[in-house]
Amino acid sequence: MTEKTIHLIDDESIIHDIFRRIFKGDEYKLIISENMSQALANHHPGVDVVIMDLMIPGTSGIEIFKQLVRVDPGIRVIFLTAFGTIESAIEAIKLGAVDYLQKPFNNLELQHRIDRVIKERKVNQENIHLKKTLNQRFSFGNIIGNSHALKQTLNLVENVAATNSTILITGESGTGKELIAKAVFANSNRRNRPFLSFNSSNIPATLFESILFGHRKGSFTGAHADRKGIFDEADGGTIFLDEIANLDNETQSKILRVLQEKEIQPLGENRSHKVDVRIIAATNVDLLEKVKIGAFREDLFYRLNIINIHLPPLRERMEDIPPLAEHFIRKYAEENHREVPGMSAEFLQKLMQYPWPGNIRELENAIQRSVILAPGATLNPEVLPAEIRSAEAASADSNYGDFNDLVNRYKRRLILDALKRNDWVQKRAADDLKIKPTTLSELIKRLDINK
Ligand SMILES: Nc1ncnc2c1ncn2[C@@H]1O[C@H](COP(=O)(O)OP(=O)(O)OP(=O)(O)O)[C@@H](O)[C@H]1O
Ligand SMILES: [Mg+2]
């Protein structure tokens, strides 16, 4: 039987003892961390499941979780919660934890839940592997939108994915930089190799080097064992360097060195060795501006910026709002076991009037909230957060016209796309759109669509 690796993050030694008792023997490998820095130093993507206390002195389980997700996006976490802290457990589930268990827990129950999560993970891994080998074509399945800007972006992704070129993805917060990074990866020749993320915000700068390049046992206080860095873990694969502008000068130099020499040197090791990684970097600030004021190395900037993929803010591609809203409604209805609600015209109108400073992430959150709060089968503006509900029609220079006009334009576009995809065979286009052929032909007439 393959070994099941469990990472326990908890500061209580009683819990450590319980785990050691339950998960002994060759079947399990148990890693124990007591705080944030140990957790970050000990974790690796081979861990099958993380069990984590929500209350960790000096930080919180959620904070640690957010950090670990960056280095191991496939991470599966079960939270341990004290009695009466159910809200944080819900928060954790929203963030992507797979399960939670209240302390004191029943040992059999604990073991059962852990085994179940590990089993699911193994099945998933097999499926992902299968899918990856089957699906060699370009796929942007989870990227939604019809705007010209997005299509151009996806074209660029398609063109650069197979190259080994370094890529810099720029755009405001929430515009989909990470999603695009993953799309580049998924459509690259490296898709069967690791994709690991590193986000320097919230990680203490003293740990950057160790996390990125690894360390040898004893190379600094607290380095109790050798640790592989992300660059070694991702060898042959892709590293996503998120919020690149936050890197200190020293780390910037080291990354520049990897890009130039394709070599790294773990802390405490006297020789460097070759690694083969592709770097995709992202930033939501104007990096060139940072270069001008001396806060970012110019040479590194040019090395990273070989290909620039810029994601425009949502307010500059409003036509993506309706399909995104529909997508998120379906997603959150399914996740919350609700029947998929529809949107009222007023609801969509509010979405179209709001400027979305937090971009797609803000839209996603607003829809998630609406789906959860909606009392009936239709989403109405009442369930929207106040700032969105009170959004007023854009100023007169807006070129979006009135609401019906907008909806018709959207319908037109959907139909045109479907027709083009299906060589103007109406029956097939109707199937594609999941509407009746008679409905389609009526719409074609009414919206005056022709080849
Ligand atoms: N075109 C899209 N289709 C579907 N979902 C999207 C799209 N763009 C972004 N999202 C979703 O919006 C959320 C934010 O995207 P992402 O995390 O990639 O943004 P980001 O630019 O990295 O943001 P930040 O700068 O805040 O880290 C994610 O949940 C992502 O899946
Ligand atoms: Mg991001």
Domains in the chain: boundaries:
4-132, 148-312, 324-389, 403-446
How high is the mean pLDDT of the chain? Answer: 87
In the reported structure, the alpha carbon of residue 84 is separated from the centroid of ligand 1 by a whole-number distance in angstroms of 33
Which pLDDT value is given to residue 134?
Answer: 45
For ligand 1, whether the C-beta of 143 sits within 6 Å is: yes
Return the axis-axis angle of helices 345-353 and 403-421, rounded to nearest 10°: 90
For ligand 1, whether the C-beta of 317 sits within 6 Å is: no
For ligand 1, whether the C-beta of 177 sits within 6 Å is: yes
Which pLDDT value is given to residue 136?
Answer: 40
Closest atom, ligand 1, to C-alpha of 178? 18
Nearest CA to ligand 1 atom 23: 174
**Above pLDDT 90, what percent of the chain?**
49
**CATH architecture entry for 4-132:** 3-Layer(aba) Sandwich (3.40)
For ligand 1, whether the C-beta of 313 sits within 6 Å is: no
Is 50 exceeded by the pLDDT of residue 327? yes
Ligand nearest to the CA of 326: 1
Mutating to test ligand 1, I would choose from 178, 242, 328 the residue with most ligand atoms within 8 A of its C-beta, which is 178
Range in 6-15, 365-374, 402-411 the model is least confident about: 402-411
For ligand 1, whether the C-beta of 179 sits within 6 Å is: yes
Query: Average pLDDT in the 410-432 region?
Result: 88
Which pLDDT value is given to residue 139?
Answer: 61
Instruction: Note whether 148-312 and 324-389 share their fold.
Output: no
In the reported structure, the alpha carbon of residue 269 is separated from the centroid of ligand 1 by a whole-number distance in angstroms of 38
Residue 237 to residue 276: CA distance in whole angstroms: 7
Nearest CA to ligand 1 atom 29: 361
**CATH architecture entry for 148-312:** 3-Layer(aba) Sandwich (3.40)
In sequence order, what are the beta bridge partners of 311?
Answer: 171
Residue 337 to residue 22: CA distance in whole angstroms: 34
β-pairing, 77-81 with 99-102?
A: parallel
414: left (phi over 0), alpha (psi -120 to 50) or beta: alpha
Select from 426, 428, 421 the least CA-distant residue to 440.
Answer: 426
Top pLDDT among 159 and 282 is at: 282
**Above pLDDT 70, what percent of the chain?**
92
- Cβ-contact 33, 62 below 8 angstroms: no
| Global pTM exceeds 0.85 | no
107-147 pLDDT, tens digit each? 988 998 899 888 888 777 766 655 554 444 446 778 998 88
Nearest CA to ligand 1 atom 9: 176
DSSP 267: B
Which pLDDT value is given to residue 129?
Answer: 57
In the reported structure, the alpha carbon of residue 281 is separated from the centroid of ligand 2 by a whole-number distance in angstroms of 10
Closest atom, ligand 1, to C-alpha of 150? 1
Residue 9 to residue 47: CA distance in whole angstroms: 12
274-303 pLDDT, tens digit each? 999 999 999 999 999 999 999 999 999 999
Mutating to test ligand 1, I would choose from 168, 201, 324, 361 the residue with most ligand atoms within 8 A of its C-beta, which is 361
3-state helix, strand, coil in the chain (%, to 5): 50, 15, 35
Which pLDDT value is given to residue 345?
Answer: 86
Query: In what helix (H) or strand (E) does residue 32 lie, and over which residues does it extend?
Result: strand 28-33
Nearest CA to ligand 1 atom 24: 173
Residue showing tokens 């010209």: 148
Q: Is CATH 1.10.8.60 the right assignment for the domain spanning 324-389?
A: yes
